[in-house]
Structure 1
Amino acid sequence: MTYIEWSTHEPKEGQYVWDGIANLEQFIQIAQEEDLYVILRPGPYICAERDMGGFPYWLLTKYPDVKLRTYDLDYLREVEKWYGVLMPRIQNHLYKRGGPVIMVSIENEYGSFSACDGRYLSFLRNLTESYIQNEAVLFTNDGPDQLPCGRIPGVLATLDFGSVGNPDSYWQKLRKYQAKGPLVNAEFYPGWLTHWMEPLAQVATGPVVSQLRRMLQQGANVNFYMFHGGTNFAFTAGANDGGPGRFNTDITSYDYDAPLDEAGDPTSKYFAIRNTILEFLPDPGVSVPSKLPKMNLPPVKMNRLGSLLSEQARQILAKYSLSSRRPLGFEALNQHSGLILYETQIPKALHHSDPLTIRVDTLHDRAYVHVDNKFVGILSRETATYSMPIRLESGTAKLQLVVENQGRINYNIANDKKGILGAVTLNGTELLNWSMTGFPLENYSQLENYIDQFSGLEETTGSVKIFHGEFNITTDNIYDTYFDPRGWGKGVVFINGFNLGRYWPLAGPQITLYVARHILIQGKNTIVVIEYQKEVMQGTLINFRDQAILNGP
């Protein structure tokens, strides 16, 4: 089973990507070469703990009030356009045309979505059907209690559930709506997702294999989600709305406590599942995967190259700089990811108040607060910290907020826009006339230019510092490794121009970031770290380990 992520293939409106990690057709062909069937999940909403559930951010730029996953005409028009590009690439791989694609989903767990819009589901069924034309099975998937709003007449309904509960009762609920047809658990969960600042989610092997055995005894069809762990590289990790005042961001690793871990190595859970399947099916004679070697690397000395707040960094790394009476958000500024620097002058009438209380209404998601380039504290949606006292030095004039997008909500989509979306006040006085400087951190060549041109003369006491290091790999045998940021705070890291994703060892539980061997090269390798909040000294070391640490600190 594979999700098709709209935002991966159309990151900017009308600009399509089908190569590299986005080469969908090659992926399907490889599956066929390996005698595997393929279940495609084109969404257009996929969840998967990905930023905005796989939707491209620019939908919110183009249509600020769009109602995603409903019979909203603007949304439907964009889905039609997207499917018009995507579906012709799928058609030749459908089962009845000799391809491996046996099933294609319509939406994803729609029964859990509050809209419960039957017209939308009918539209999406008809649109998908116009391309698939009975050459593969169309299906929906929902939790056992979410079938009333998730099922679609004439489409195979499937369930998703994990190792908890009795599958007999789940199938009975399915049969109330679907009297006949196969019993399918389209997402059987052998593990679970993890948020920052939470314990690592782990699911015991015993209940997983017991539940699997029960389903196989019932003649049910079972698809694991996830069977192979993964990684939310770059800024692709999403977030969840945990209820009023609660915002939970997903860690970079998507190891998921899966049978095959993030690096593809078999776990004890894998062997237990394999043995259980062999109770029902003959051994196919496929070799059991073995754990691949991992490597340590010598410590890398990191050189500090100034702050993102510096004039030099702004000139080279900023995508734009503009002004507005009130702050504008990421989507209004057509920015997907990274950081926005918001700046305004502090009114002279407030200079003699001590202390001042800054408050940011509707902050999405995290603000690194500065006064005249001096880092003074953090406001955070995750901890519901929207105000703090600040002190002004003599002659203070400027307030600066570096706002981080930590990932858009991916479940029960609610147009999770980013940036400062409300008023900013000091002692109750609204601050106006803002300048905004955007740092999407998407263009690595800009970072290379900054490193090459860094004068070493300009330094600030601000946060968001840029570090650069180099290391050599002399061996021909390059293996996976793990970036270890212990001693650092929170930020993002690039190796050879590839964005590994967000690190945050101060919060945990994830400490290390997975570095696939394909990212590394023989000879000189480069590493760039953008540290958002901690004061890290010049010459601080970065380490690479041969083991993952996902359950820290």
Structure 2
Amino acid sequence: MFSNTLLTFAFLLTVLPVAFFEETCKRTFKVDYDKRTFLKDSKPFRYVSGSLHYTRVPPELWKDRLTKMKYAGLDAIQTYVPWNLHEPSPGLYHFEGNADLELFLQTAADVGLLVLLRPGPYICAEWDFGGFPSWLIQQNASTVLRTSDPRFMKPAVRWLSFLYEKLKKYTYCNGGPIIMVQIENEYGSYGVCDKVYMKNLVKIAKSVLGESIVLYTTDGNVAQDLKCGTYPGVFATVDFGTGQNVSQAFQPLDQMQKGPRVNSEFYVGWLDYWGSPHAKVSTAAIIKSLKNLLDYGASVNMYMFEGGTSFAYWNGADPPFKVCPTSYDYDAPLSEAGDMTSKFEAIRKLLGKYKQLSPMNPVPKNSTKLNIGPVKMTKIASITDTKHIVLAKSVYPISQEDLSQSMGFTLYRTNLSERFYQAILNVSGIRDRGYISVNGLYQGTVDRNENTFLNISGGKDQVLDILVENQGRINFGSQITQNRKGLISNVTLNNRILKNWEISRVDPLLVNAVNKSQCAKGPTVFEGVFKSPRELGDMFAYFPNWTKGQLFVNGYNLGRYWPKKGPQISLYIPSAILLSPGYHNTIRILELEEVDCIQKGHNIYLKNVPDIDGPTSL
């Protein structure tokens, strides 16, 4: 595909082992293509698994979720590995907290679950940039992702080699839970069909993990996807949801491969977008289709079995730019808070007809939920009143990527050269949403999806602030290459280009108290406290008088709220982040637009039930 493909192989030789190592497996997991079955320790094996993303659940709760999945009758779990979480800067690796993948794998093994690992490097997953680190496009925006372009392959090889070296002791061959490792992710739907790229990914995996590792691909169940997404010698699987004739659904796969049939993403729910109704898949439809899959002898992975939460800024978006909310509940059998739903019970009942369910003592229970009630929030500062970490001073705006500012909020500040009244501010390069003030007076909001023009007024030498919110990068499709954030082109005022910008990173946790007046418009930080009760539990934060913003509890970034847009109304607060009974927990909120504090006050409410199915507004 690329004229410099030979360079790809040159650097591959510098990072991969010279020869494959000799393997002596403690246990074996293989594919018997002729008999259409897996062989686990030489015995026929069919698995039922469920997806759980360790990054979307606090590590203190991993065992709870995994135990419930085992209780449901699952043999295995499937999980993605997001590159951008684990390598936030080139060569700087992060494997702590909810990134402690080794602890997650060990916990799965302790519970008695096998693991299907999906390391990408592309993962989709409604996760920011499909798991790609933003620094991939920092140096060169023309880097061709998901191909053998050396500008992409070199860091991808480095990352995957590091990851596989770290995880090879967890393969089934070496006594661990990992039975299969996925190559790429639904590559056939991307439309590039770069077989050199796929060959390189296979080579990396086998050179580190060994020839015995079962590598697999997942693609849509159409011939063209399978043509581009598969690779010789790599076990192919497909994905599809309810309502399809199982025999017909597997037919494109059967025409190209013998072996066991696997649906790697059997959709038992679906994803949400801000401004669209909460997606649901009926339990009856799931049970009917799952029974058909099991009767057909297929292995199946339910996506998602628990969705969890896209904490902080990790949510993704679909093209053209439909943003996913904080909740990744997915209408899954286990709720966002890990509760066993009626869908869970129906699936467990069905699986009990096909296999011996593991007895458990004690039987897993749903978590305690707290109803704290109102918490008074007090304004501590407007964003325009406080100092921030200056990243650059530039004649023209600079994108977040070129500032090494991957996520969150960036403040662009300049001075007006003369007096303006109702002048037209053009921010067509906004990515994604901008909150605009002049000398601290909030003027309004611009949005890439709605309106990038705003009338503003101000005097000569007054300060123009544009606080830019990165709402999450596109994670799917060809537009994944168009993912720069911040201000990506010049800003004009009455058709004149504005120059001389000071650009800063805004961290709501670093804002100090400046002004405690109660009512405010525009980006403002509020703070409140509540006391931990005698028994800790989960809860859900409600924002009845608020517009849009970010919630932090005890320094933990719980994600974005936007109740006026819907369908997500409440934000999940897991018990794991609360302080011990009797201690006071600190809530901090960055409200970006307005709190209706005159009419209704500015409390938030901590309740014992969630609401992710509220009214929506496009």
Q: TM-score, normalised by structure 1?
A: 0.91
Deviation at 1:55, TM superposition (A): 1.4
Q: When the two structures are aligned, how many residues end up with a matched partner?
A: 529
Aligned match of 2:128? 51
For 1:462 and 1:326, locate their aligned partners in 2 and report how far apart those are by CA, in whole Å.
Answer: 28
Question: Would the aligned equivalents of 2:89 and 2:135 in 1 still touch at CA under 8 Å?
Answer: yes
Residue of 261, 264, 286 corresponding to 1:208: 286
Residue of 600, 603, 608 corresponding to 1:546: 608
- SS of 1:92's equivalent in the other structure is helix
For 1:370 and 1:125, locate their aligned partners in 2 and report how far apart those are by CA, in whole Å.
Answer: 52
Deviation at 1:420, TM superposition (A): 1.1
- SS of 1:482's equivalent in the other structure is strand
Aligned residue type for 2:144: K
Aligned match of 1:293? 368
Deviation at 1:455, TM superposition (A): 4.2
For 2:538 and 2:490, locate their aligned partners in 1 and report how far apart those are by CA, in whole Å.
Answer: 46
Deviation at 1:190, TM superposition (A): 0.1
For 2:595 and 2:99, locate their aligned partners in 1 and report how far apart those are by CA, in whole Å.
Answer: 37
For 1:547 and 1:306, locate their aligned partners in 2 and report how far apart those are by CA, in whole Å.
Answer: 31
Aligned match of 1:235? 313
Aligned match of 2:383? 308
- SS of 1:227's equivalent in the other structure is strand
1:501 aligns with 2:559: yes
Deviation at 1:194, TM superposition (A): 0.4
Question: Would the aligned equivalents of 1:370 and 1:462 in 2 still touch at CA under 8 Å?
Answer: no
Aligned match of 1:431? 498
1:404 aligns with 2:469: yes
Residue of 173, 197, 202 corresponding to 2:275: 197
Deviation at 1:286, TM superposition (A): 4.1
Aligned match of 1:341? 411
For 1:330 and 1:459, locate their aligned partners in 2 and report how far apart those are by CA, in whole Å.
Answer: 32
Deviation at 1:393, TM superposition (A): 4.7
- SS of 2:401's equivalent in the other structure is coil
For 1:65 and 1:334, locate their aligned partners in 2 and report how far apart those are by CA, in whole Å.
Answer: 17
Identity of aligned residues (%): 40
Deviation at 1:457, TM superposition (A): 7.8
Change (3 A) 1:5 1:394: closer
1:464 aligns with 2:517: no
Q: How does 1:81-160 map to 2 (within 5 A)?
A: 81-145=158-222, 146-160=225-239
Between 67-76 and 431-440, the greater mean CA deviation after superposition: 431-440
1:226 aligns with 2:293: no
For 2:343 and 2:517, locate their aligned partners in 1 and report how far apart those are by CA, in whole Å.
Answer: 53
Aligned residue type for 2:136: L
Aligned residue type for 1:167: V
1:389 aligns with 2:455: yes
Aligned match of 2:324? 250
For 1:8 and 1:198, locate their aligned partners in 2 and report how far apart those are by CA, in whole Å.
Answer: 28
Deviation at 1:415, TM superposition (A): 4.1
Runs of 4+ in structure 1 deviating by more than 3 angstroms, as ranges, are 286-289, 393-398, 455-462, 535-539
Deviation at 1:134, TM superposition (A): 2.9
Question: Would the aligned equivalents of 1:52 and 1:410 in 2 still touch at CA under 8 Å?
Answer: yes
Query: Where in structure 2 are there 5+ consecutive unaligned residues?
Result: 1-77
For 1:436 and 1:27, locate their aligned partners in 2 and report how far apart those are by CA, in whole Å.
Answer: 38
Between 58-67 and 523-532, the greater mean CA deviation after superposition: 58-67
Question: Would the aligned equivalents of 2:115 and 2:180 in 1 still touch at CA under 8 Å?
Answer: yes
For 2:165 and 2:241, locate their aligned partners in 1 and report how far apart those are by CA, in whole Å.
Answer: 34
Q: How does 1:169-180 map to 2 (within 5 A)?
A: 169-178=248-257, 180=258
Question: Would the aligned equivalents of 2:126 and 2:316 in 1 still touch at CA under 8 Å?
Answer: yes
- CA offset digits 1:3-59 (Å, max 9, x no partner): 111122222232222222122112111111222111111111111111111112222
For 2:103 and 2:344, locate their aligned partners in 1 and report how far apart those are by CA, in whole Å.
Answer: 26
Aligned match of 1:36? 113
Question: Would the aligned equivalents of 1:52 and 1:409 in 2 still touch at CA under 8 Å?
Answer: yes
Deviation at 1:378, TM superposition (A): 1.2
Change (3 A) 1:455 1:432: closer
- SS of 2:349's equivalent in the other structure is helix
Change (3 A) 1:396 1:172: same
1:65 aligns with 2:142: yes
Aligned residue type for 2:587: I
1:331 aligns with 2:404: no
Question: Would the aligned equivalents of 2:427 and 2:492 in 1 still touch at CA under 8 Å?
Answer: yes
Deviation at 1:423, TM superposition (A): 2.5
1:373 aligns with 2:440: yes
Q: CA RMSD in A?
A: 2.0
Change (3 A) 1:130 1:457: same
Between 360-369 and 100-109, the greater mean CA deviation after superposition: 360-369
For 1:520 and 1:78, locate their aligned partners in 2 and report how far apart those are by CA, in whole Å.
Answer: 38
For 1:30 and 1:428, locate their aligned partners in 2 and report how far apart those are by CA, in whole Å.
Answer: 59
- SS of 2:588's equivalent in the other structure is strand
Aligned residue type for 1:403: V
Aligned residue type for 2:371: N
- SS of 2:403's equivalent in the other structure is coil
For 1:440 and 1:123, locate their aligned partners in 2 and report how far apart those are by CA, in whole Å.
Answer: 40
